Amino acid sequence: MFKINKSWMLVISMALIAVMFGYALARKDDQNLTMTGSTTVLPIAQLAAEVYMDENPEVNISVRGGGSGVGIAALIDQTADIANASRAIKTKEIVTCREKGIDPVGNVIAKDGIAIVVHPDNPVKGLTIEQVRDIYEGKINKWSELGGPTKSIVVVSRDVASGTFEVFKELILEGGKTREDAVMLASNKAVATTIAQTQDAIGYIGLGYMSDAVKALEIDGVMPTNATVASGEYKVARPLYMYTNGKPKGLAKDFLDFLMSKEGQEIVEEVGFVPLQK
């Protein structure tokens, strides 16, 4: 009868342990998902992750902000499974992706309007896109030029890592530069807080960050609401993305399928953004 000596048994045992350990690690990776990027998309991602994890207790989803540029950089560096972005990926980012063997796929998960906001005590009710542009480029400096008080306008903007900044620059500034004395902030929440605390300030935030602490202005006669964004009437609007490396698969696909379901789109609406479907 063929016998296996102790040395071979030890080798086989170690091999089996290695296989089982590798399988366990693979299973662990299958149950972890990391999302990084846009502070606009952040409330959607956070609440959706919470609900998904409640329904799938074995899953762990990590969600961080930092800005759209930070998210896409993390996808390129393979330190995030999903890059949340409030703008489309840039050509130079696509080039970097190709160089690193990354295939960025943009999954649209919601729509958003960029609300131009002021302090609730500001009497100005609406502006044109041209007036907003002139404020941010430094051509209009006092609220009295717009029917408001004789006070200097405090201009608040997002920083350059922000997808909201990129869309604002495209749709409002038409590629122009923000005035040098603008207060540049790292998140929608920081902008909203600053406007709420600064009576003479103007800023811009995603719809999900609207509250009674700030006042949205009509732009070209249209208020930024879910309805006007959905209809296309409000022009300062954009899609929101979750970028993956290639078509979504595994846990990323399952999470995105959940987000695109009726339940997921209800979460989008609950946090103040515009669902793709009702």
Say whether pLDDT at 276 is over 50: yes
Read off the pLDDT of residues 217-243 as tens digits, 9 standing for 90 and up. Answer: 999 999 999 999 999 999 999 999 999
pLDDT at position 86, please?
Answer: 96
b/e burial code for range 217-232 (CB count within 10 A of at least 16 → b): bbbeebbbbbebbbee
* Rounded distance between C-alpha atoms, residue 60 and residue 45, angstroms: 13
Q: Which residues contact 24 (CB under 8 A, 6 or more apart)?
A: none
C-alpha–C-alpha distance, residues 60 and 70, integer Å: 21
What value does the mean pLDDT take over residues 47-67?
A: 97
- By three-state DSSP, how is residue 92 classified? helix
Q: How far is CA 197 from CA 21, 43, 113, 234, in A?
A: 54, 22, 23, 27
SS3 assignment, position 200: coil
Beta bridge partners of 204: 116
Distance CA 70, CA 162 (A): 8
Q: Give per-residue pLDDT as tens, 15-48.
A: 555 444 444 434 445 899 999 999 999 999 999 9
- If you average pLDDT over residues 246-266, what whole number do you get? 97
Q: To the nearest whole percent, how much of the chain has pLDDT over 70?
A: 89
Q: Has domain 113-237 been given CATH number 3.40.190.10?
A: yes
What pLDDT is recorded for position 18? Answer: 46
Q: Which CATH class is domain 6-111+240-270?
A: alpha beta
Question: Which residues in the chain are classed under CATH 3.40.190.10?
Answer: 6-111+240-270, 113-237
Residue 3 has a pLDDT of 55
Q: Collapse the DSSP code of 149 into the 3-class scheme (helix H, G, I; strand E, B; otherwise coil) and give the result.
A: coil
| Encoded tokens for 151 | 């006070």
> How far apart are alpha carbons 113 and 102 in whole angstroms?
30
pLDDT at 179 over 80: yes
Per-residue confidence band for 277, with pLDDT thresholds at 50, 70 and 90: confident
The pLDDT assigned to 278 comes to: 60
Question: Is 1's pLDDT higher than 80?
Answer: no
Question: pLDDT tens across 80-111, in order?
Answer: 999 999 999 999 999 999 999 999 999 999 99
Contact criterion met (CB below 8 Å) for 202 and 116:
yes
Kindly tell me if the per-residue pLDDT of 143 is higher than 60: yes
pLDDT of residue 161: 85
Q: Is the dihedral of CA 115, 121, 127, 132 positive or negative?
A: negative
Is this structure's pTM higher than 0.95? no
* Mean pLDDT value across residues 8-18: 54
